[in-house]
Amino acid sequence: MKDKIKVLVLADHPFSPSGVGTQTRYMIEGLLGTGEYSFICFGGAVQHHDYKPQKTEAYGDDLIIYPVDGYGTQDSIRSIIRTEKPDMLWFMTDPRFFGWLWEIEDEIRSLIPMVYYHVWDNYPYPTFNKVWYDSCDSIVAISKVTHDIVKNVSPDVKSYYLPHAVAPAYYKPLKEEEILELRNKADVGDEQFVVFWNNRNARRKQSATLIYWFKKFLDKVGHKNAKLIMHTDPKDPNGPNLGAVVENLGLVNGEVMFSTDRLEFDQLASLYNLADVTVNISDAEGFGLATLESLSCETPIIVNMTGGLQEQVTYEEEWFGVGIEPASKTVIGSQDIPFIYEDRLNEDDFVNALEKMYNMSREERKALGVKGKQHVEKNYNFNNYITKWDVILKELHKIFGSWETRKGYRTWHISEVHND
């Protein structure tokens, strides 16, 4: 029997609700379905109550999750590589979280290849990332912007373009009578215009700004005619107190609703379905999974034309909502990351975009959503996503090998020295 390719995964916990966690889960479950892979995961970026290794009934020993704080440590990576002997390391999220990992890349890459599923939000080219990119055997980019950046900053690193996908079994349009029932349960009037926002309550996501601008929109169209539903934690320590913002703006009659429970995929799909439009006004967004999920449910979108969002809202001559051109750029950074350029919208442009969508008939909005779903099926196809991961990982395994077959790297040998 052919040995399975064993992949060590370093990312958000695959059963966490984050976009990174969701894509990690899709990749793992899809490749497990081929019967040719097994996975060891460091389940990071979530709080743990138990640090014992976790298994699932469905996958048994083919999926073992080790809960870790943050994304792990150098010693934990060293230990798991030596004991489990994986064939490759696959890791995903912002490179700023992996400085500690690249410090020991010579140790890791002497044994197994490092495959990075990478996102970078914006231009100009982050040349300071070159030392990190060059420390990978391969980089898989989640957007065309990211892929162009990698090819220009580190042209010698083998790279691929593979955008995110959504599971069509969950994210699909519902029947009109089902949507009406959902609206009734959510205390949403049949004629009310519903704006949905699904994101983390963090600074760059502009969660509080969205509420402020939504009030400006309500002042134009009438407070009883529209509702904003935000699926987020209004008290996230990384963002503003959204409940206080709502109260300060006098939106005390249900104009803004918060969905705070952790939802399964089909429950989240219900929120996309009951909405008239899904919005994302983030200053920087590597991909923006929520708007893709929305299109898969045939709900149009309004987005900032930045990062991966601009690839979702339009394709060739077709549009699947409204894309808003940034009004200005701001520059943030740190001592480790000298600069990151962010794209800022302005109030009038966003309010005008909401008015444009509001003034469309329900049939016109539906037509945008139907075309959006076709766009998702063509360019972000779930089966193609899994197939391409299968092709990429097998190709890299063949090119770079692992352990006894590792190519291009010399394994270090430690000899004991005696002082006589």
DSSP 311-329: HHHEETTEESEEEE--SEE
The answer to whether 271 and 230 are in contact (CB under 8 A) is no
The answer to whether 368 and 300 are in contact (CB under 8 A) is yes
Same domain, 182 and 231: yes
What angle is formed at CA 71 by the lines to CA 70 and CA 74, rounded to 5 degrees?
A: 115
Same domain, 141 and 202: no
Kindly provide the residue ranges of all beta strands, DSSP E only, lying in 241-344, ordered along the sequence.
256-259, 277-280, 301-304, 314-315, 318-319, 321-324, 328-332, 340-344
What's residue 136's pLDDT?
94
Residue 99 within a domain: yes
Q: How far apart (Å, rounded) are the C-alpha atoms in residues 320 and 299?
A: 9
Same domain, 152 and 42: yes
CA distances, 80 to each of 71, 246, 402 (Å) = 13, 47, 15
Same domain, 104 and 123: yes
Same domain, 37 and 70: yes
Same domain, 209 and 344: yes
The pLDDT profile of the chain, 420 residues, written as one tens digit per residue, is 468 999 999 988 888 878 888 899 999 999 999 999 999 998 776 666 777 888 888 899 999 998 888 788 899 999 999 999 999 999 998 787 888 898 999 999 999 999 999 988 788 999 999 999 999 999 999 999 999 999 999 999 999 999 999 999 999 999 999 999 999 998 898 889 999 999 999 888 999 999 999 999 999 999 999 999 999 999 999 899 999 999 999 999 999 999 999 899 999 999 999 999 999 999 988 899 999 999 999 999 999 999 899 999 999 999 999 999 999 999 988 888 898 899 999 999 999 999 999 999 999 999 999 999 999 999 999 999 999 999 999 999 999 988 777 765 554 444 455 555
Instruction: Mention every residue, 6+ apart, whose C-beta is less than 8 A from residue 174.
Output: 182, 269, 270, 273, 297
Domain housing 211:
176-379
Q: What is the CATH number of the domain that holds 284?
A: 3.40.50.2000
Residue 420 within a domain: no
Residue 102 within a domain: yes
What's residue 415's pLDDT?
47
The answer to whether 274 and 188 are in contact (CB under 8 A) is yes
Residue 171 within a domain: no
If we measure between CA atoms, which residue out of 12, 88, 172 comes closest to residue 405?
A: 88
If we measure between CA atoms, which residue out of 386, 410, 406 comes closest to residue 113?
A: 406
Q: The tokens 């063949």 sit on which residue? A: 398
What's residue 412's pLDDT?
46
Same domain, 147 and 55: yes
What's residue 187's pLDDT?
87
Residue 311 within a domain: yes
Same domain, 241 and 320: yes
Range 219-243 burial, b when 16+ CB lie within 10 A, else e: eeeeeeebbbbbbbbbeeeebbebe
If we measure between CA atoms, which residue out of 82, 81, 1, 8 comes closest to residue 393?
A: 8
Same domain, 158 and 184: no
Same domain, 385 and 367: no
Same domain, 126 and 248: no
What's residue 1's pLDDT?
45
Residue 419 within a domain: no
What's residue 419's pLDDT?
58
pTM given for the model: 0.91
Residue 292 within a domain: yes
What's residue 414's pLDDT?
45
Q: 11: which strand partners?
A: 43
Q: How far apart (Å, rounded) are the C-alpha atoms in residues 185 and 257?
A: 13
Same domain, 38 and 116: yes
Number of structural domains (the chain) is: 2
Residue 39 within a domain: yes
Q: How far apart (Å, rounded) are the C-alpha atoms in residues 64 and 278?
A: 35
